[in-house]
Structure 1
Amino acid sequence: MVIEEGRCGDEGATLRAVSSAVLAVTRHLSVHEVLQVIVRAAAQLLDARYAALGVPDDEGSFAEFVVEGVTDEEWERIGPLPRQHGMLAAMLRGDTPKRLADIRREPEFEGWPAAHPVLKDFLGVPIRDGEDVLGIVFLANKRVPGGFTDGDEELLRLFAAHAAIAMANARLYEHNRELTVVAERNRLARELHDAVAQKLFSLRLTARTASALAERDPVRTVRELEQVERLAAEALAELRAVIFELRPADLADGLAASLRKHVEVLDRAHETEVRFAADGADVLPEEHEAVAYRIAQEALYNALRHAGARAVDVRLAGDGERVVLEVADDGSGFDASEPGRGGGPGQGGGPGRGGERGQGNGDAGGLGLASMRERALSIGGTLTIDAAPGRGTTVRLEVPL
């Protein structure tokens, strides 16, 4: 088969355009960002003046509706989100794309707000995941005369197939993030109960004992009051540590500076010596640094709460090809050879037994080693755990640049 040189060049340019559009979409993780980039990429890909993407809800309207080519002022004049009527409803019920020379001549064309831009040539393609319609992408008013072509329709169908994958991945990412938030809240609730609440309970009993002894045994009363003071100080330190963990990570100054600040606070709040060192650490993308920071937080939490360590060292280094983050303690350690406990490359190990270093906070899906492993994988990194009973634990994260 002979392909004309000009046509071959056009097809190559088209494929590059599709590739660029798909890459632009897949770089984003939040659902709203993905929708906005899909609309913008579709409009640029097919040279359309207007583009929109509607995600249907279960109440006859749209859960999300993003547009391209309409200013904020114009969108405000248009009014509320559109409902599933007219051409939008026809597209939702249909299984095939819709390409029209003039949408205004169609029977389904109705209910458009007075402030809505004037639409003429129209192309709509459903974004499908199997039998489910994730959304519909609409294009209108092609900038060059003649309207949308067969080739435009095929191109948008191809792009919509990739957009479906990006939307599904973004939804999965946000769902996993929500689960992580729930797990973090549960962990902090357990921490408040196990550490702070128990100390406060002991403090209350000790204070009551001191009150009962005040008249008949002043010497012992003094000792009990000293115990009250000690327990109150410990409870305050525990509470401060938990509150500090609740604060969102501020990585404005970069990963190294943020880790150094975090380590300094933990060193003051705990009897364990916590140290930090950085050596030529390269700069990671912001979202990667946030993940690395959270992994360091969890490793530090395990070391300080469960290892019985005298010292914990946090080290950050880079060699131009990767960034390496290590959290090493000299605590009780554990048997990394046990199933679900250790971790080879890309593995963080699973949950362990309650109260031991590296344990998964008592539940299989907890925010322990399994969570660190998943976070490492989410940024293309590998997590390894080097541990043995009596010789401490080292959590090592490697992230390629």
Structure 2
Amino acid sequence: MNEDRDAILQAVSSAVLAVTRHLSVREVLQLIVRSAGQLLDARYAALGVPDEEGAFAEFVAEGISPEEWDAIGPTPRQHGMLGAMLREGAPVRLPDIRRDARFEYWPRAHPVLKDFLGVPVLDGDEVLGILFLSNKRASGGFTEADQRLLTMFAAHAAIALTNARLYERGRELALVEERTRMARELHDAVTQKLFSLRLTAQAAASLVPRDPARALEEIERVERLAGEALAELRAVIVELRPAELGRHGLAETLRKHVHLLDRLHPAAFTFDEAPVGALQPATEVVVLRVAQEALHNASRHSAARAVGVWLGCRGGRVVLEVRDDGPGFDVTAAAGRGLGIASMRDRAQALGGSVTVTSDPGRGTLVRMEVPA
């Protein structure tokens, strides 16, 4: 008996730890569902986060393939058992959901659910979502002990979900504050200079027919103001340089970014480096931005199990490689798919470097960047 209890507590602990180490709301939802299904050996598991319009802002399920989702159709509305659980905020355990008065219907392609266990994910009295399982693989359906276990897990999942929401809102607020600051800097430092530049150019144009010498003086002033405006703009652009680069340098900033992705995604993200020495700030920014774009593509599009980043210096050139073991793709056909390849190449070429993307179906993808050190 004690061994069974210890095994259950260990399973809950492992599931909760897997959830709380992720900060993305979507990833947290997916892990809650996956962990709950594994914990109670259910064929189907799902979690719905309600919106204010009678539907679900997020709905994540395990046990249903993408093809089956396409056949089922849109995300469910807050009706039937799902709506009842949101209204009542109490656990529901049934031997057959189809025999309950609260059950209404499923879409034609929906899998047939029988035994059912659902619990609310609560933050105080607020229902953050509903977590439910169906079709337990072991005979006999869900037990009262299963209900207690899922309720305990949902309480911990609520903490993880709240934490993830706070983290994402904090990032959004920080981004808004940064945009506001940059808009103010651009207005104060550059806009007034450009306004003066325009007025001086207009004055020079009006003087050309009647006072060429004076017009030449004004044109020289235009040139000087243009140089000052360019200098001001460059200074503002330097401020756009990520603060982490100034504090930690390129390698450590990349390492931290890769480590964060490893926490946020199921794939394994790793980082290796060889010394690159001191680089110009503009070079560091470009290498970081290209790395972020390539990593974004790998995490969102590649379905890879492993993504590796390497940063080093060869032959007087900084080399960045982002490699994944995903299914690969046709690089030529992907030119217009919004993968940011053109943007990465433009950034590298601005520094006299290059970006090459090598990929074939079934062979993964390698993004390689070289720029002068």
Task: Work out the CA distance in 2 between the residues paired with 1:245 and 1:39.
Answer: 42
> What pairs up with 1:225-304 in 2 under 5 angstroms?
225-239=219-233, 242=236, 259=245, 283-284=255-256, 286=258
Residues 33 and 45, structure 2, Cα contact 8 Å, conserved in 1: yes
- Compare 220-229 and 237-246 and name the one that shifted more: 237-246
Give the corresponding residue for 2:72: 78
Q: Per-residue CA shift, 1:347-377, capped at 9, x if unaligned?
A: xxxxxxxxxxxxxxxxxxxxxxxxxxxxxxx
Task: Work out the CA distance in 2 between the residues paired with 1:236 and 1:32.
Answer: 42
Give the corresponding residue for 1:63: 57
Match of 1:139, SS? strand
Q: Per-residue CA shift, 1:313-364, capped at 9, x if unaligned?
A: 99x9xxxxxxxxxxxxxxxxxxxxxxxxxxxxxxxxxxxxxxxxxxxxxxxx
C-alpha displacement of 1:110: 1.5
Pick closer, same or farther for the CA change 1:51–1:277 going to 2, 3 Å: closer
2:145 aligned with 1:173, yes or no? no
Match of 1:59, SS? coil
Residues 94 and 115, structure 2, Cα contact 8 Å, conserved in 1: yes
C-alpha displacement of 1:220: 4.9
Pick closer, same or farther for the CA change 1:61–1:212 going to 2, 3 Å: closer
Give the counterpart letter for 1:162 in structure 2.
Answer: H
Task: Work out the CA distance in 2 between the residues paired with 1:72 and 1:124.
Answer: 23
2:132 aligned with 1:138, yes or no? yes
Match of 1:284, SS? helix
Give the counterpart letter for 1:106 in structure 2.
Answer: D
C-alpha displacement of 1:176: 1.6
Unaligned runs of 5+ in 1: 1-6, 250-254, 264-275, 290-311, 317-401
C-alpha displacement of 1:15: 1.4
2:84 aligned with 1:112, yes or no? no
2:12 aligned with 1:23, yes or no? no
Give the corresponding residue for 1:386: none
Give the counterpart letter for 2:196 in structure 1.
Answer: S
Highest RCO, 1 vs 2 (Cα 8 Å, sep ≥ 6) = 2
RMSD, aligned α-carbons: 3.2
Match of 1:66, SS? strand
C-alpha displacement of 1:210: 3.4
C-alpha displacement of 1:146: 1.3
Give the counterpart letter for 1:22 in structure 2.
Answer: V
C-alpha displacement of 1:152: 0.9
Give the counterpart letter for 2:44 in structure 1.
Answer: Y
Of the three residues 34, 43, 47, the one matched with 1:53 is 47
Residues 47 and 61, structure 2, Cα contact 8 Å, conserved in 1: yes
2:200 aligned with 1:206, yes or no? yes
Task: Work out the CA distance in 2 between the residues paired with 1:174 and 1:180.
Answer: 10
Task: Work out the CA distance in 2 between the residues paired with 1:231 and 1:131.
Answer: 62
Q: Per-residue CA shift, 1:232-291, capped at 9, x if unaligned?
A: 1332344456567769x7xxxxx8xxx4xxx8xxxxxxxxxxxx97899994352659xx
Of the three residues 150, 153, 171, the one matched with 1:156 is 150
Give the corresponding residue for 1:183: 177
Give the counterpart letter for 1:49 in structure 2.
Answer: R
TM-score scaled by structure 1? Answer: 0.59
Pick closer, same or farther for the CA change 1:56–1:210 going to 2, 3 Å: same
Give the counterpart letter for 1:161 in structure 2.
Answer: A
> What pairs up with 1:360-379 in 2 under 5 angstroms?
none
Give the counterpart letter for 1:42 in structure 2.
Answer: A
- Compare 168-177 and 131-140 and name the one that shifted more: 168-177
Task: Work out the CA distance in 2 between the residues paired with 1:146 and 1:288.
Answer: 42
Q: How many residues align?
A: 264
Task: Work out the CA distance in 2 between the residues paired with 1:279 and 1:68.
Answer: 38
C-alpha displacement of 1:92: 1.2
Task: Work out the CA distance in 1 between the residues paired with 2:77 and 2:52.
Answer: 11
Give the counterpart letter for 2:119 in structure 1.
Answer: V
Pick closer, same or farther for the CA change 1:241–1:120 going to 2, 3 Å: farther
Give the counterpart letter for 1:134 in structure 2.
Answer: L
Give the corresponding residue for 1:102: 96
Pick closer, same or farther for the CA change 1:285–1:244 going to 2, 3 Å: closer
Aligned-residue sequence identity (percent) comes to 66
C-alpha displacement of 1:212: 5.4
C-alpha displacement of 1:219: 4.8
Give the counterpart letter for 2:179 in structure 1.
Answer: R
- Compare 152-161 and 12-21 and name the one that shifted more: 12-21
Task: Work out the CA distance in 2 between the residues paired with 1:13 and 1:26.
Answer: 20
C-alpha displacement of 1:213: 5.1
Unaligned runs of 5+ in 2: 262-279, 285-373
Residues 89 and 127, structure 2, Cα contact 8 Å, conserved in 1: no
Match of 1:123, SS? strand
C-alpha displacement of 1:81: 1.1
